[in-house]
Amino acid sequence: MSLKEKIEKQKKKMREIQEELQENCKIFFKEESARLFEAYPELTSFSWTQYTPYFNDGDECLFSSWYNYQTINGRFGENDDDSIPKELEKAFDAVNEFLSNFDEDILKEMFGDHAEVIVTKDKVEVEEYSHD
């Protein structure tokens, strides 16, 4: 076997492992987000944005998931003027902890770039997100 063939064989193995990781992460996401909705009945949805900036003052533009600035129940989040109601504080923290388990590459693979991800008990929706 030539060196080129050996390298191609290893690249194929790596792609297969990456595909398996992505599929398993989708399963984990679905299962664990369902547990969040069970544990926090007052939680009806959570969402966040993720994107690669178009411009970054000359620095390289890198993809980021802004899950730590998620919105709860379509309204409450750390960046909102409305403070998070007491009954949602624990849910907010639990969602943040849950999402922190997924690294940037996995979230990008799962939901795409320039996206707003909206998770409810019944489904996950991905909408195009426009940013400046």
Is pLDDT at 83 greater than 90 in this prediction?
A: no
Distance CA 75, CA 82 (A): 8
Query: Which amino acid is present at 64?
Result: S
For residue range 11-64, what is the model confidence (pLDDT) as tens digits?
999 999 999 998 999 999 999 999 999 999 999 999 999 998 877 666 778 888
Q: The tokens of 87 are what?
A: 């009954």
Q: Which residue has the tokens 């919105």?
A: 71
Distance CA 95, CA 67 (A): 9
Residues in the chain: 132
Query: Which amino acid is present at 31?
Result: E
Q: The tokens of 61 are what?
A: 């533009």
Is pLDDT at 67 greater than 80 in this prediction?
A: yes
What ranges do the domains of the chain cover? Answer: 3-128
Mean per-residue pLDDT of the chain: 89
Residue 116, classed as helix, strand or coil, is strand
Q: What is the pTM of this model?
A: 0.81
Give the CB-side neighbour count of residue 29, counting CA atoms within 13 A.
22
Q: What residues are paired with 71 via a beta bridge? A: 47, 77
Share of the chain above pLDDT 90, in %: 66
CA 23 vs CA 63, 83, 122: distances in Å:
21, 36, 19
pLDDT of residue 15: 94
